[in-house]
Structure 1
Amino acid sequence: MSIPVARPGQSSRAKLKLTPTERRASVTLALLFASRMLGLFLLTPIFAVAAQTLPGGNDAAKVGLALGAYGLTQAILQIPLGMASDRWGRRPVIIFGMLLFIVGGVICALAENIDWIIVGRVIQGLGAVSAAITAWVADATRPEVRTRAMAMVGGSIGISFAVSLVLSPVLVGEFGLSGLFWAISLLGFVCLLIASFVVPSVPQAKAPIVQARPRDVLAHVDLLRLNFGVFCLHFILMALFIVMPGLLATLGHYDSANLWEVYLPVILVSFVLMVPAVFYTETRRMHKVALEVAVAGLVVVLALMPLASASFFATVVMLVGFFIAFNILEALQPSLVSRVAPPEFKGLALGFYNTAQSLGVFLGGVIGGLLASLNRPSAVFLLASALAFVWFLTARGFKDQT
């Protein structure tokens, strides 16, 4: 009886296919992450205006605190909950975090003044489960397909942001600010159901828990480079979208109700163009090159934005370029964290990573808002480009271990 002989490259191609368990875990965790991020982003486009209907809502400092409190408490809790997920498992930690997210959302929905909104947002931020979710993705996938799985999770950020721009004005217009927070709480409940019953169980890396020490992560140079990278990426995202809505509205004669007509196609086109780049990176094992090229792309796009800002079409083209690089980096960097971090503190490493991301969101919004208040939108673009250039210099020292 003859034995089938594998064709050259056949086994390697098979290894690059997601198994049924990997596919189910990746899709359901991406859905979980997308629902949670949508709950976060729904507030961003409309809160500053909608908060004026509440007592104290005209106090810009309190409005800023209500928005920023979530990011700050997220940053504080990412590391402890990342460590907890290493010790007690991903699912219990995520369920606990989503319960806090729901409770905080309900408090905000019932709030009668801006102070109670701040309290609710603080409690929402205590449910810092991003590290546990990304660690779960890493647990469920092999290294050779992990970037593709992370692309599903990372791409959900851009898609959730685009969807929030469509839904947020509609929800506030129909149901008011309270209705928006009830919708956010409902999304938290959906996340709770997904984490509890839908995501498949996968074995977690077995290693002595005593080895999971923060100083191990802080002494790991490549992990520090990746943490700095995600800080830069989300600093740039928040700063950019403080000035971009007004710029597009002025150039394209849009208002806040229909800016989604610009954002949604931009996000979708950039995501479609990102997929071949991620697949090429995996098949050629060119993760370091992809990292450097994507960051360099950010530098160029952001440097050109002050010139492009005189034209609506040119601005949209630059925005597409930005999101191509953004989506690639959003997929690539968590995968690299999971590759370079030893199994025994994978969750802790991703906790530091998501802490850096939350700090980038907070500081990007604060500093971008300060520059925008001085009527210096070009300064936002140039600062973002300079920060991306510093990131590029640090990324060049990353050791390709893929």
Structure 2
Amino acid sequence: MTPFERRTAAGLASIFGLRMFGLFLMLPVFAVYGTDLQGATPALIGLAIGVYGLTQACLQIPMGFASDRIGRRPVILGGLLLFAVGSVVAAMSDHIIGVIIGRALQGGGAIAAAVMALAADLTAPKQRTMMMAIIGMSVGGAFLMAMILGPALVGIGGLALIFWLSAVLAVVAMVVLYAVVPVPTQQRVHADAEPVRSQFGGVLRNPDLLRLDGGIFILHFILTAAFVVVPLMLRDTLSLPVGSHWQVYVPVLLLSVVALVPAVMVSERRHWHRQVLFAAVVCLTIAQLALATGGGAAPVLLVSLWLWFAAFNVLEATLPSLISRYAPTESKGTALGVYATSQFAGAFLGGLFGGIVHGLGGEAWVFLLCALGTMAWLVIMRGMGQVPDLRRDAVSEA
């Protein structure tokens, strides 16, 4: 990567990572500490975990459209401001409904599509997979730090401290946007571009884009559903207090990252994107079934969590890169908006149904539900077309 591309990667990965760190901080603790909020029930706890996905899903497509026309940076700035407001609302609430409202406002900061589209604008085609992988790794790093610091922070200042910190991190991300991220030399603002309806229709008629949208929906469904119950399993199966859960998350996540770099290198160098995608979904399915049937045993729980996170990291890095390959240049923001909408719709429904299923049937049934989702994903992937080789277009787009 050129120095310009490295600066772009550092800036956008930092923005994405800071924002996701603020969202992830509550994952390792809310299933336990959320019960102390007034009016809390298992279903409402699941809703509070996943509701940000509802507002994200509603706003990603409009903000993707906007980023194709008024520019990426104004859209990203506005999203970060709304995220900060939601964090403050949640920090000041002692009732579960207030936290749900705050989380919904956080989700209103729907900048994922604009960030990924800006990354595509500022990167040569041959480096796009690596750029998306770096952003994906920032999400993994944010997740790791949240698993470590979330339990410690909630022990110091309760859930309110987590939300106040999220607001501060949003402000830091705004500074990074204007101080670090380069201004595109060829900002793709299409005032006279193809009409919105035509762009949107073209994206929705592309079967390969729809397969990827379905995949990210399922991936984030199982992420939020799993974290309705994973903290409880660590507490009950391993007899670990919440403040010690990092002793599991740190080694499991660090070992899972080991699978990411080889997978990205193989998919890019050998053009095995579909094969890597399929293998990761198979691994995710195996992990879900193992957690459902043997998660009560400590060795099975630990190995299954490692496999789960290894597959998740690979998929999180691979899917946005594939979207950028399949999507037409003039509709990248729109395509990424649909993609991000699917992602956060999955997060919302995963938290909602994870909480409901946990209340009705227990932890094993949540993982069985997730396994059904990954099996459906394998079916969806059948017939996926050849992944475009953007290296052939590098000269014409440079």
TM-score (norm 2): 0.89
Give the structure 2 partner of residue 36 of structure 1. 19
How far the C-alpha of 1:177 sits from its partner, in A, is: 2.9
Aligned residue among 131, 140, 144 for 1:158: 140
1:159–1:268 Cα contact (<8 Å) kept: no
How far the C-alpha of 1:214 sits from its partner, in A, is: 1.9
Aligned residue among 16, 22, 32 for 2:5: 22
How far the C-alpha of 1:181 sits from its partner, in A, is: 1.7
SS in structure 2 of the partner of residue 199 of structure 1: coil
2:220–2:343 Cα contact (<8 Å) kept: yes
Instruction: Provide the rounded CA distance (Å) in 2 between the counterparts of 1:139 and 1:398.
Output: 26
Matched, 1:231 2:213: no
Instruction: Provide the rounded CA distance (Å) in 1 between the counterparts of 2:96 and 2:225.
Output: 24
Matched, 1:301 2:287: yes
Instruction: Provide the rounded CA distance (Å) in 1 between the counterparts of 2:256 and 2:105.
Output: 34
- Distance verdict in 2 for CA 1:241–1:272, change over 3 Å: same
2:43–2:359 Cα contact (<8 Å) kept: no
Structure 2 counterparts to residues 137-152 of structure 1, below 5 A: 137-152=119-134
1:106–1:181 Cα contact (<8 Å) kept: yes
Q: Which amino acid aligns with 1:329?
A: L
How far the C-alpha of 1:377 sits from its partner, in A, is: 2.6
Structure 2 counterparts to residues 71-220 of structure 1, below 5 A: 71-111=53-93, 113-202=95-184, 203-205=186-188, 208-212=192-196, 213-220=199-206
How far the C-alpha of 1:229 sits from its partner, in A, is: 0.2
Instruction: Provide the rounded CA distance (Å) in 1 between the counterparts of 2:154 and 2:44.
Output: 20
Offset from partner CA, 1:213-245 (integer Å, 9 cap, x none): 322211111111000000011111222222322
Give the structure 2 partner of residue 271 of structure 1. 257
Instruction: Provide the rounded CA distance (Å) in 2 between the counterparts of 1:211 and 1:389.
Output: 37
SS in structure 2 of the partner of residue 242 of structure 1: coil
- Distance verdict in 2 for CA 1:316–1:284, change over 3 Å: same
For structure 2, the 5+ residue unaligned runs are 390-398
Offset from partner CA, 1:337-390 (integer Å, 9 cap, x none): 011110111011111111111111111122222222234433322322222122
Q: Which amino acid aligns with 2:118?
A: W
Query: Cα RMSD between the aligned structures?
Result: 2.2
- Distance verdict in 2 for CA 1:109–1:387, change over 3 Å: closer
When Rg is computed on C-alpha atoms for both structures, the one with the higher figure is: 1
Offset from partner CA, 1:98-130 (integer Å, 9 cap, x none): 111112222333346555434433322211101
- Distance verdict in 2 for CA 1:185–1:24, change over 3 Å: same
1:72–1:125 Cα contact (<8 Å) kept: yes
Instruction: Provide the rounded CA distance (Å) in 1 between the counterparts of 2:348 and 2:52.
Output: 9
SS in structure 1 of the partner of residue 244 of structure 2: coil
Greater Cα shift, 112-121 or 384-393: 112-121
SS in structure 2 of the partner of residue 28 of structure 1: helix
Greater Cα shift, 31-40 or 291-300: 291-300
How far the C-alpha of 1:52 sits from its partner, in A, is: 5.8
2:71–2:189 Cα contact (<8 Å) kept: no
- Distance verdict in 2 for CA 1:343–1:122, change over 3 Å: same
How far the C-alpha of 1:166 sits from its partner, in A, is: 2.1
SS in structure 1 of the partner of residue 259 of structure 2: helix
Instruction: Provide the rounded CA distance (Å) in 1 between the counterparts of 2:369 and 2:48.
Output: 26
Give the structure 1 partner of residue 377 of structure 2. 391
2:88–2:164 Cα contact (<8 Å) kept: yes
- Distance verdict in 2 for CA 1:287–1:68, change over 3 Å: closer
Greater Cα shift, 354-363 or 288-297: 288-297
How far the C-alpha of 1:204 sits from its partner, in A, is: 3.2
Matched, 1:288 2:289: no
The percentage of counterpart residues that share the same residue type is 44
Give the structure 1 partner of residue 392 of structure 2. none
Q: Which amino acid aligns with 1:22?
A: E
Give the structure 1 partner of residue 360 of structure 2. 374
SS in structure 2 of the partner of residue 374 of structure 1: helix
1:69–1:121 Cα contact (<8 Å) kept: yes
Greater Cα shift, 330-339 or 291-300: 291-300
Instruction: Provide the rounded CA distance (Å) in 2 between the counterparts of 1:316 and 1:58.
Output: 29
Q: Which amino acid aligns with 1:41?
A: F
Matched, 1:339 2:325: yes
Give the structure 2 partner of residue 46 of structure 1. 29
Aligned residue among 347, 354, 373 for 2:340: 354
Instruction: Provide the rounded CA distance (Å) in 1 between the counterparts of 2:99 and 2:231.
Output: 25
Instruction: Provide the rounded CA distance (Å) in 1 between the counterparts of 2:238 and 2:71.
Output: 49
Q: Which amino acid aligns with 1:34?
A: G
